Amino acid sequence: MKKHMILAASLILTPYMAIAANEPAAGEKPVVHDGDASNTGINKRDRDDKTLTPMDQMNNPADLKITQEIRQALMKGDFSMDAKNIKVITRNGTVTLRGPVKTAAELEQISVLVKAMPGVKSVDNQLQVK
């Protein structure tokens, strides 16, 4: 019985211990990387309600198809792993691209690729060169 209670307690405490391990020590300031495009978890632009996130993706068949086709083209293309992991959000034919890419040439290639996709009305290219 004690063995089960210890196991249950460790399962409950483990997530809290992981959160505490990432907290700054008393008196320390948290590290904020505002200029780091690859760190979207703490990036200021992601905290703005006006900024689209993948949760803003429309669920209608046309927008889902556009996003799927863009994602497939990125995976098939000769792009960096950063580029293959960009955020692609489609709303009523307007595609928003966000995230880091390796080079300016890669950014341009992706922009041309997305604009040529069937069903894309416009592109809001927010990609950033790392």
pLDDT, one tens digit for every residue, the chain (130 residues): 555 555 455 545 444 444 444 445 555 444 444 455 555 554 555 556 668 888 878 889 999 999 999 999 999 999 999 999 999 999 999 999 999 999 999 999 999 999 999 999 999 999 999 8
Distance CA 45, CA 48 (A): 6
Structure tokens at 66: 């556009």
Cα–Cα distance list, 44 to 20, 22, 36 (Å): 23, 19, 10
